[in-house]
Structure 1
């Protein structure tokens, strides 16, 4: 198919999901790690180069009158963060109609909120970037090939797609069908969490100290599924049955920890059915008149 057909379809894309579907349509043989620079060039980016300052993580500079658009990245970025920054700015370039110049900081490349127009735009660019670097069909298939979920899969996934661990975890949480949550911890304090869509609401917030059972874990500990106290992590009402929660802890020597919380959804459904059955069959005794 001619390149202008690809550009025409991108111009009619609109949403991040439609744009990603268009990229997959014209690049059916994508393999990890994705060549994001090649995709950017084909999508209309004329240049990818370093910024002259590290005040921003990345920037988009456009001159549509001349048909020029450049993506610039801070010179100190790691290769993985640079790839995400390029994909992020490509998202800005393609989303929302007429491209405008952008200057994005590191926090913008991690934005997940949508409570202001600026945050919403950054969030959409991040969703697009994740979809370009970790295309859903490839990602889902590679995760399924790893077998049962475990926290040790995440560094391998990040290496396969040549992205940061944070980006791999966020994509995993977005696409998985399991009830799990990932918590990034530094020196005993929660930095941020990435729950899957099916996981119960967390009670622990960014900046909170983590339970002692996690803080005491070391890099030398064998990684295994451990019982976790549900009330330490998730919101449970007084009249709600406490789910059986397990966790794995990946600890690094620099005080960094990645905690994976897991709820067996099938086992929870069976437990709920048993509790309902028991409540239904329990005899009731009326008072004798």
Structure 2
């Protein structure tokens, strides 16, 4: 049922963040997983339907006469990915930065670039989807409640908010103040990563083999923090001091591995300050001036 008061509040909102803020004012109390279909019906989505997955797992059909829409998703799409596909198309519907119907590929549903008009539109829809399914204030409180950072937290986040692991990792990386990166691997091969904003550029490329120590990790191994060689993972500029890097790995029987890389930002700042202080205080010897 359409919520006219909500639609009035959404009128004039031009960014994912202003839309989400207005929606959150109508539902301030945490309730997870978010009922994305109920939200969609409140703002003008008339129906949902399945479609063949021809490389475009979700689509949006707009009726310009009634200003309503239909959201389609691929048949057999797992529930977490279906929820995200619906939220993504709802973002397109509310943002209104395109004309006509929309078909979105798997790549579109992971887009975070803005160097073309199409990519910017998909990135905005993804920002909206993540914020709708994992509202920032609720998400932040939930993560704090999990305690000290752990590779196991990602599964808890995904279960709480009804999203996939990669969507949970993207949201975590976007909001965290820590220097960390979530890496996904399968059968000993690195696939992709979700680094936080402050994390150094990764050196490992998609398709690369994991370091030997991780190749030997078994599902039954105890999950614990271990030191990692920065040269295996990050780009260290020549002449720079490599940061101290730690990792946790969660291995599963199907060959999937989730890796959490972490850098202690406070410790790195102290080390840099001490190195700078030592360099400043060190006596400098040179050739005595000639008389």
Q: Which residue is equivalent to 2:53? A: 54
TM value normalised by structure 2: 0.94
SS of 2:180's equivalent? strand
TM value normalised by structure 1: 0.95
Flag the 1:115–1:206 CA change in 2: closer, same or farther, 3 A.
Answer: farther
Cα distance, 1:120 vs structure 2? 2.1
Q: Paired residues, what number?
A: 287
Cα distance, 1:99 vs structure 2? 5.3
Determine if contact 2:92/2:98 at 8 Å carries over to the other structure: no
Q: CA RMSD in A?
A: 1.6
Flag the 1:224–1:159 CA change in 2: closer, same or farther, 3 A.
Answer: same
Superposed CA offset, 1:247-284 (max 9, x none)? 00111111111111000011111111111111111112
Superposed CA offset, 1:150-183 (max 9, x none)? 1111101100111111111110000000000111
Q: Which residue is equivalent to 2:156? A: 156
SS of 1:145's equivalent? helix
Q: Which residue is equivalent to 2:261? A: 261
SS of 1:109's equivalent? helix
Q: Which residue is equivalent to 1:182? A: 182
SS of 1:46's equivalent? strand
SS of 2:126's equivalent? helix
Superposed CA offset, 1:196-233 (max 9, x none)? 00111111122222222222212111111011001111
Cα distance, 1:116 vs structure 2? 2.5
Determine if contact 1:92/1:99 at 8 Å carries over to the other structure: no
Is 1:199 aligned with 2:199?
yes
Distance across 2 between alignment mates of 1:86 and 1:205: 31
Q: Which residue is equivalent to 1:69? A: 69
Unaligned runs of 5+ in 1: none
Describe how 1:91-170 pairs up with structure 2 within 5 A.
91-97=91-97, 100-170=100-170
Is 1:172 aligned with 2:172?
yes
Cα distance, 1:286 vs structure 2? 3.5
Q: Which residue is equivalent to 2:39? A: 39
SS of 1:12's equivalent? coil
Describe how 1:220-239 pairs up with structure 2 within 5 A.
220-239=220-239
Superposed CA offset, 1:179-198 (max 9, x none)? 00111111222211110001
